[in-house]
Every structure is written in structure tokens, then in C-alpha cells.
């Protein structure tokens, strides 16, 4: 499979401007930097997240003003699975046409600081991650389930959640 | 004297003008909306969970069910993400067919938007006109894929099959008549005083708010922000086509209407160019581990038989990693975040659904306005609940 071999994995050799500026400000906070398929991923510690997001949004050279997406990953099935949950942020700069992916990792029950104060659009995204993965967001103004019913038990996108699960009331209903 | 009390009104989930099963809890002071709380999830079908249990090619039909008005755009986002993770590019003809169909899909989606949006506001005729033209596109869908709506025509590595004979004539016939048809809709609406009264200055959102709320697609461009994934980060060869990005200025319902109308003309331009570019050639990549061998070859070649068997029993493996692939879907930026672990199924797929993000800005647009405007604003956002709830 020749066309699978051209992948460029591991550390970024030619550091982009984003990483350079980012490194200057957050020397300690950058836990891991990866570039794959021309996409940059930066792993941060949860306590640095809000500060980093504000910096990325407000820095005049970067201007990541557009939060495209927030989602979660349950790493239970991956070779290295602690901390278990990963919250992934896709940032975009409308001005510079650049994208960067931020990640934080937390264990079961640990909270991630909310970025709703930086980008209001994070509100529903974070509710979705809370609903489907059970990751709480600290400081979120309205942390409720969004897709599943309010009285639902469990978090469907966790890897240990069965694909065919029915709620209790469904099974208990008399025939 | 009793104190002034507000009334709480439940709009939906079974309300014709919420475009599906959207429920809005409206707090009204007379006819003015004080507070609007959207409730979603009534159509949650676990598509992201479902994809984790399916091989890469098997997952494509599930994506049709998200934005069911533009199934091929969803297909395209998923297959492009898998192709990005694999590091492959589809041959020229495959790409051209994809672009042509994606633009026809955009016209098709915008036609449903226009018809239902006008219907919500009270203009019945446009609906009938729009569905007449949509039917032509559905016929083309059927000719190419065998299905009118849930077409699943794109595959990782190319297409399900080449276009049938006579397909180009069908596209040509549609493109030839469409500009006149669009002029008919515009004659009914664009300068109609009733239409202007219901749309101009309604549901306004500022440029900064639109960015902060993550709006994308026509809703963002109506505020004057020139962001279109096809131009900013071209995929499938969009950089080879000539087209403009229509922009609005005021970010109200009328500007969103004007932007989408202009977009249909641009889609017409792109589809016409794609039709001209269409040359005979391969539609799929040549890697036999990704694309099944031709049926004739299976009868003669042992190797082809093995490839065929492996492909349908095991599928193909994607190297471990993660990619984000955005496309410009009719509703806005549709992004696929794909995490792979080296297996033959995706480890995690997430869809950044444009309708989900755009709907979040609805309270911002309707609070403080009349309840009748809520209907106009929902229509102008062009939401599809299948995509919001996934």
C-alpha cells in the first residue's frame, strides 16, 4: 500500500508561527505537540485551558476568533487509556485561515474548565460532551443534557456503553 | 391591579414551521418574545455511536440520514475525512463528478429551504415551484445512484459506480432551464413588499456576534464575513473553478435570503463548469485494497478474487491518527473529526453539524422581537433536525 506510507508523524520539524508564539507564552503548559496530515494538535493541562484560549483568541498574530467545534473522545479502547477522557477543541482564525486543535485530558469525574466565557458557541458543544461522555464543565452557565432525555442514565458515547441499550422504564413496562 | 405576567408558550416539537422536531419554549409578554429556550434531541439516533461499530465504507449510508436534504454533502465530508487519514486523492473524473453533484445538492437543499421558508411566511406558490425543480435533481440522483434521497453515492476512494449513459444530458437540461426558473422565484419574492416587510431588519445578528456564536455558511456570510470552505481550504479540486462568494451586509432574514439566492447562481456556475470538465477516465483510486476490482477480473484473476473477498469481509485499515475535514455544506461548515486506531472501523467520528451551531444563535436573534418573527428566523437559518440531533 504505497499511498499509505507518505505520512508525517511525530514532532513538528518546521514549527509554524502558531506553535512558536504559543510556546513563547506557555512553555510549561504544552504537554505534547503533534503534527499529522498537516494538522497541528496541542495537548494542554486542564488548568491552562482558559488562559491559553484567551491568548489564542486575542493575540494579534494569531486571532483564533472562531471556535469551530468542541467534542470528546473516550480513550478506553486505546493502548494508553489514562486519563480516560479527552476534550477536543477545533480553533479557527478567519483572518489568517489557520486551524489548530487543542486537547485536554481528564479522568472520570474530573471537570474541565468551560470556555463559554471565551466563545459563547462553546455552550451547546460542552453540553453535548457532558451529555454523551459525562465530562462536567466547571463554570458552565447551563450544564444540562442536550440530546438525551433529562432523566437518562449513562452516557452513550462512552466505550463501555452498549450499542443496544434501552432505558429502564422501557423494559419495566408491562406487556 | 395584578402584576404584569408573562405567558409561556410551547412551540413544537410537532409544529410545521419548526422544520422538524424542534421544541421552543417561548416566554411571551403579549406578542413580544422575552426569552426563547430551544430544546433539541427528539431525533437523536446515535449516528456517531453507530459509526464506531461499522467499517469505513459501511458507515456512509448512516451519514445520509443527518442532513437528509443534502445527503451527498454528508457523504462527501465523511469520505474526504477517511481519504485524508489514508493520504489518498481521488482521480480527476471522480472529483469532478463529486463537485458537480455536490453543487446540484446545494441547489436542491436551497430549493427546499426557499420553498418552506416562503411557505412559513405565507407565500404558497414558491413552494410548488421549488419542488418542481427539486424533482429534476432527484431524478438525476436516482439515475446515478438508484435512490432519490438516501443516495450514498460517494465511496472512500471514489464513487459507487460511474455515471450512467445520458446523465450528462440530464444535467445539461436542468442547468439550461434553471436560471429562468430562479428568475420566477425572485419575481415572486425579492421586491415583493409583503416579503420585505416580513424579512428586512428581522432576526438581525451583528458580525461579531455571528463569529462568537460560530455561525457558518449563508448565516455567517449574510453578516458580511467572507468565509467559505470551498475558497479558504479547497477540497475535491474547488480551486479550479471560477465562482464568487455572495455576501450580505445587515445579517437579517432578508440578507440570508439574498445570499442563498446568489449562492444558487454560483452553484449553477460551478456545476456548469464541472459538466464541461467532465472527461472520460478512472473514477476510483487504483489501490485494490481500497476499491473492489472490476467484476470481469474476479473471474480470471485469483489475486482480484482475494482482494474482493478481503474488502467485503474485513474492509481496509486506516493508520492511527486524527483528522478534521471541513466542507462547505449547504447549511454551513460541516466538519468531520475522525479518530482512527489502525483498525478497520473508526475509533470515533464526530460531525460538526452546521445546523446545530447555527440554531444556538436563535435566542439571540428572536428575543425582544414579535412571536411571528420567530417563524421567519427559523426558516432563514435553514436548520435540519436530523443533523442537529444526529
CB B159 within 8 A of CB B83: no
**Chain A touched by B200 (CB under 8 Å):** no
* Interatomic CA distance for residues A48 and B74, integer angstroms: 35
To the nearest whole percent, how much of chain A has pLDDT over 70?
A: 85
Sheet with strand A85-93: strands edge to edge:
A30-36, A39-44, A98-106, A85-93, A66-74
CATH code of the domain occupying B46-285+316-384: 1.10.645.10
Cβ-nearest to A120 among B213, B323, B347: B213
CB contact under 8 A, A1 and B352: no
Residue A161: its chain B contacts at CB < 8 A?
49
**Chain A touched by B312 (CB under 8 Å):** no
Cβ-nearest to B211 among A69, A94, A99: A94
Average pLDDT of the residues of chain B: 90
**Chain B touched by A119 (CB under 8 Å):** yes
Which pLDDT band holds residue B2 (cuts at 50, 70, 90)?
low
CB contact under 8 A, B40 and A101: no
DSSP string, B261-315: HHHHHHHHHHHHHHHHH--SS--S-S-TTTSPPPHHHHHH-HHHHHHHHHHHHT-
Which pLDDT band holds residue A2 (cuts at 50, 70, 90)?
very low
Within 10 A of A134 (CB to CB), how many other CB atoms are there?
Answer: 18
| Measured CA distances, B324 to A128, B47, B52, B335 (Å) | 18, 18, 16, 7
3-state secondary structure of B6: coil
Instruction: Specify the pLDDT at position A170.
Output: 62
Q: Best of A146, A152, A155, A160 to disrupt the B interface by mutation (most B CBs within 10 Å)?
A: A146
Condensed to tens digits (0 to 9), the pLDDT of residues B83-126 reads: 999 999 999 999 999 999 999 999 999 999 999 999 888 888 89
User: Is the pLDDT reported for residue A34 higher than 90?
Assistant: no
**Chain B touched by A152 (CB under 8 Å):** no
The CATH number covering residue A157 comes to 3.30.460.80
Cis peptide preceding B228, ω within 30 of 0:
no
Domain count, chain A: 1
Instruction: Specify the pLDDT at position B368.
Output: 87
- What are φ and ψ of residue B159, in 5° steps? -130, 165
pLDDT higher for B351 or A109? B351
**Chain B touched by A60 (CB under 8 Å):** no
- The grid coordinates of residue B345 equal 472501523
For residue B183, the distance in angstroms to the closest alpha carbon of chain A comes to: 33
Global model pTM greater than 0.80:
yes
CB contact under 8 A, B337 and A90: yes
Condensed to tens digits (0 to 9), the pLDDT of residues A18-33 reads: 777 777 777 777 778 8
What ipTM was estimated for this complex? Answer: 0.88
What mean pLDDT do residues A89-112 have? 90
Instruction: Specify the pLDDT at position A160.
Output: 87
Which pLDDT band holds residue A8 (cuts at 50, 70, 90)?
very low
CB pairs under 8 A between A and B: 103
* Interatomic CA distance for residues B360 and B54, integer angstroms: 30
CB contact under 8 A, B49 and A66: no
Condensed to tens digits (0 to 9), the pLDDT of residues B177-222 reads: 999 999 999 998 888 899 998 899 888 999 999 999 999 999 999 9
CB contact under 8 A, A67 and B214: yes
Instruction: Specify the pLDDT at position A164.
Output: 77
Partnered with residue B332 across adjacent β-strands are: B329
Sequence ranges of the domains in chain B: 46-285+316-384
Instruction: Specify the pLDDT at position B114.
Output: 92
Strand stretches in chain B, DSSP E: 7-11, 23-29, 32-39, 154-155, 158-159, 321-329, 332-340, 348-352
Which is it for the CA torsion B200, B202, B206, B209, positive or negative? negative
To the nearest whole percent, how much of chain B has pLDDT over 70?
A: 99
**Chain B touched by A124 (CB under 8 Å):** yes
User: Is the pLDDT reported for residue A7 higher than 60?
Assistant: no
CB contact under 8 A, B87 and A6: yes
3-state secondary structure of B335: strand
Instruction: Specify the pLDDT at position A172.
Output: 62
CB contact under 8 A, B212 and A123: no
CB contact under 8 A, A119 and B390: no
**Chain A touched by B146 (CB under 8 Å):** no
**Chain B touched by A9 (CB under 8 Å):** yes
The parent domain of residue A163 ranges over 2-172
Condensed to tens digits (0 to 9), the pLDDT of residues B48-81 reads: 999 999 999 899 999 999 988 999 999 999 999 9
CB B156 within 8 A of CB B338: no
| Measured CA distances, B386 to B68, B359, B370 (Å) | 7, 13, 27
pLDDT higher for A62 or B274? B274
Average pLDDT of the residues of chain A: 82
**Chain B touched by A43 (CB under 8 Å):** no
- Lowest mean pLDDT segment, chosen from A23-37, A109-123, B263-277: A23-37
**Chain A touched by B310 (CB under 8 Å):** no
- Lowest mean pLDDT segment, chosen from A9-23, B88-102, B268-282, B315-329: A9-23
**Chain B touched by A4 (CB under 8 Å):** yes
What mean pLDDT do residues B286-301 have? 87
For residue A148, the distance in angstroms to the closest alpha carbon of chain B comes to: 6
Amino acid at each position: 500500500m504505497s499511498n499509505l506510507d507518505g505520512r508525517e508523524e511525530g514532532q513538528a520539524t518546521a514549527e509554524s508561527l502558531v506553535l512558536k508564539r504559543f510556546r513563547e507564552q506557555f512553555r510549561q503548559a504544552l504537554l505534547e505537540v503533534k503534527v499529522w496530515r498537516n494538522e497541528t494538535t496541542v495537548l494542554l493541562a486542564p488548568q491552562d485551558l482558559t488562559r491559553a484560549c484567551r491568548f489564542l483568541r486575542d493575540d494579534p498574530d494569531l486571532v483564533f476568533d472562531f471556535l469551530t467545534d468542541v467534542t470528546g473522545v473516550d480513550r478506553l479502547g486505546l493502548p494508553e487509556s489514562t486519563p480516560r477522557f479527552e476534550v477536543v477543541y477545533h480553533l479557527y482564525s478567519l483572518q489568517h485561515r489557520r486551524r489548530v486543535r487543542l486537547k485536554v485530558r481528564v479522568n472520570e469525574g474530573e471537570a474541565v474548565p468551560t470556555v463559554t466565557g471565551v466563545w459563547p458557541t462553546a455552550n451547546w458543544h460542552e453540553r453535548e460532551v457532558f451529555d454523551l461522555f459525562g465530562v462536567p464543565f466547571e463554570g458552565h452557565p447551563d450544564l444540562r443534557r442536550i440530546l438525551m432525555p433529562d432523566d437518562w442514565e449513562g452516557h452513550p458515547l462512552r466505550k463501555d456503553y452498549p450499542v443496544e441499550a434501552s432505558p429502564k422504564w422501557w423494559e419495566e413496562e408491562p406487556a | 391591579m395584578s402584576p404584569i405576567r408573562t405567558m409561556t408558550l410551547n412551540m413544537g416539537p410537532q409544529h410545521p414551521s419548526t422544520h422538524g422536531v424542534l421544541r421552543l419554549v417561548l416566554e411571551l409578554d403579549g406578542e413580544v418574545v422575552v426569552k426563547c429556550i430551544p430544546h433539541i434531541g427528539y431525533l437523536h439516533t446515535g449516528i456517531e455511536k453507530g459509526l464506531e461499530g461499522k467499517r469505513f465504507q459501511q458507515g456512509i449510508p448512516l451519514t445520509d440520514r443527518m442532513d437528509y436534504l443534502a445527503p451527498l454533502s454528508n457523504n462527501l465530508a465523511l469520505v474526504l475525512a477517511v481519504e485524508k487519514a489514508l493520504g489518498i486523492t481521488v482521480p480527476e473524473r471522480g472529483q469532478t463528478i463529486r463537485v458537480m453533484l455536490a453543487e446540484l445538492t446545494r441547489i436542491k437543499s436551497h430549493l427546499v429551504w426557499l420553498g418552506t421558508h416562503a411557505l412559513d411566511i405565507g407565500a404558497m406558490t414558491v413552494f410548488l415551484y421549488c419542488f418542481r425543480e427539486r424533482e429534476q435533481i432527484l431524478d438525476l440522483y436516482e439515475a446515478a445512484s438508484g435512490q432519490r434521497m438516501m443516495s450514498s453515492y460517494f465511496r472512500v476512494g471514489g464513487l459507487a459506480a460511474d455515471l450512467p449513459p445520458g446523465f450528462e444530458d440530464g444535467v445539461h437540461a436542468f442547468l439550461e432551464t434553471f436560471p429562468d426558473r430562479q428568475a420566477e422565484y425572485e419575481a415572486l419574492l425579492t421586491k415583493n413588499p409583503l416579503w420585505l416587510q416580513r424579512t428586512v431588519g428581522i432576526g438581525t445578528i451583528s458580525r461579531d456576534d455571528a463569529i462568537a456564536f460560530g455561525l457558518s455558511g449563508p448565516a455567517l456570510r449574510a453578516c458580511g464575513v467572507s468565509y467559505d470552505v470551498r475558497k479558504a481550504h479547497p477540497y475535491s479540486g474547488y480551486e479550479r473553478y471560477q465562482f464568487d462568494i455572495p455576501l450580505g451586509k445587515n445579517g437579517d432574514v432578508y440578507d440570508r435570503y439574498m445570499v442563498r439566492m446568489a449562492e444558487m447562481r454560483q452553484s449553477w456556475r460551478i456545476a456548469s463548469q464541472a459538466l464541461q470538465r467532465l472527461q472520460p477516465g478512472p473514477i476510483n483510486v487504483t489501490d485494490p485494497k481500497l476499491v473492489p476490482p472490476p467484476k470481469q477480473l474476479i473471474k480470471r484473476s485469483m489475486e482480484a478474487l482475494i482482494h474482493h473477498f478481503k474488502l467485503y469481509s474485513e474492509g481496509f485499515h486506516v493508520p492511527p491518527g486524527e483528522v478534521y475535514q471541513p466542507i462547505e455544506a449547504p447549511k454551513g461548515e460541516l466538519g468531520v473529526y475522525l479518530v482512527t486506531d489502525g483498525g478497520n472501523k473508526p475509533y470515533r467520528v464526530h460531525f460538526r453539524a452546521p445546523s446545530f451551531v447555527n440554531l444556538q444563535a436563535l435566542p439571540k436573534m428572536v428575543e425582544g422581537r414579535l412571536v411571528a418573527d420567530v417563524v421567519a428566523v427559523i426558516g432563514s437559518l435553514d436548520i435540519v433536525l436530523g443533523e442537529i440531533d444526529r
